[in-house]
Amino acid sequence: MRRAARRWSTRWFSPFSYRRTLLEACEERGIALEGYSPLTHGRDIDHPEIAEIAERLGRTRPGAPLLTEGDLVLATEVEGSEQPSAVLHAIAGGKTRHNEIKDGIRAEPARTLDRLIDLHLVERLVPVTDDAQRTRRRLYRITDNFLAFHLGMVTQYRAEIDRGLGASILPIGRDRRAGARR
């Protein structure tokens, strides 16, 4: 049985206070290092690299950090092609089996899924009664709940949120959560 990666959250790990020894120690122990606070709490919002990423994402003014945090994660963690982003959106949209993801993105997702698993953005779940090495019954899920919420709700209703209608989206999110529990 595969041991789940332990997680430790710190707000002091960012591009501006990069602590290589902390990262290496976490990697040696199988700990996924995750930060949940807005990037430096807005202190470095005028940094040229942040400005460049914001411009590339079409976010030219500092606004609600949680609204743009998911976009920043996608821009920094899955750069290179559109397929990783498409796979993450498919999983967030409820396509959790390999064939569902494949149909959703209209491409073979195996290599991309492996890469996202290596980045600890996605995890592969196997039924407890199956042999993990031989089974083909696998489910995929986004490991970070905030990123899953961002891709599943925020991205889908971004236009309404940007127009100030975020409160009207809350009942939809509550209905989705209630439906998922059933």
Model confidence pLDDT, tens digit, residues 39-92? 665 666 677 877 777 677 666 554 566 677 787 777 777 766 789 989 999 999
Residue 113's pLDDT is 94
Residue 35's pLDDT is 57
Token pair 């290589």 is at which residue? 20
Token pair 């079409």 is at which residue? 58
Distance CA 119, CA 28 (A): 15
